[in-house]
Amino acid sequence: MTQPNHEPGAQPSVETQVPAGDVDPRVERSRTSVVSAAAQLLLDNGPDAITHARVAAAAGVSRTTVYKHFPERSDLLFVTAEAIGKNVPNHNDITGDLRTDLRMFLDHLASDLRDPVRTRIIAMMMERGLHDDAVALVRNTFMQKFRVVYTAITSAGVARGELSADVDVELGLASMAGSLIYARLLTHRPIDDALVGRVIDNFIRTNAPR
């Protein structure tokens, strides 16, 4: 099966959204069956197992049904990762206090990394994203959601004079998220509140106005 032909920076289609309340219950049930089967395949066999044909067989539905719900493989991968419990920060949770907001931001990633199942998914998506365009698209979509909230938090911190005006958004995001991923995946260090606090302290200290 060929990989989906997405433009750079594209995101999975709107078909991945939760169905509206007036959708035929039979359609919603088939969609739920597809997502449940895909989630189990992802957990058991990794991203390579998520194809329309394999998910259809596991869900006991036709391949056409899977395509109707999720036209592209990236759509199917995206909603499957969400169903397993991927945590993503929300703009509405920003309070205006730098330390509180950075804690909120990192707590979403920390929560994923404390969960063995989600940690496995993160590791698999990182590795397979190097070779699989659909996996890379889903990975990048999740990362963009983190980047948007992180940028809003740091921009507000700069405006309040709490962070340097030349703070490097990409480097800061890499250092904060990377510290937790390194601790969990490479050293098996517990992702506790103390570690999250130290990562935040280091970021604020490094990017304080000079």
pLDDT score of 16 = 41
Q: How far apart are CA 33 and CA 15, in angstroms?
A: 16
Give the global pTM: 0.74
Give the model confidence (pLDDT) of 115-160 as tens digits.
888 888 888 888 888 998 988 998 888 888 889 999 999 999 999 9
Answer whether residue 25 shows pLDDT above 90: no
If DSSP codes are grouped into helix, strand and coil, which group holds residue 19?
Answer: coil
Predicted confidence band at 206 (pLDDT cuts at 50, 70, 90)?
very high
Residue 15 pLDDT greater than 50, yes or no: no
Please tell me the predicted confidence (pLDDT) of residue 151: 93
Crossing angle between the packed helical segments 116-128 and 73-84, to the nearest 10 degrees: 160
**pLDDT at residue 6, as a whole number:** 39
Residue-level pLDDT at 169:
85
**Over 90: is that where the pLDDT of 64 sits?**
yes
The alpha carbon of 77 is separated from its chain's Cα centroid by a whole number of angstroms, namely 11
Q: Which domains does the chain have, with CATH numbers?
A: 18-84 (1.10.357.10), 91-206 (1.10.357.10)
- At residue 19, the pLDDT reads 45
Going by pLDDT thresholds of 50, 70 and 90, the confidence category of residue 23 is: low
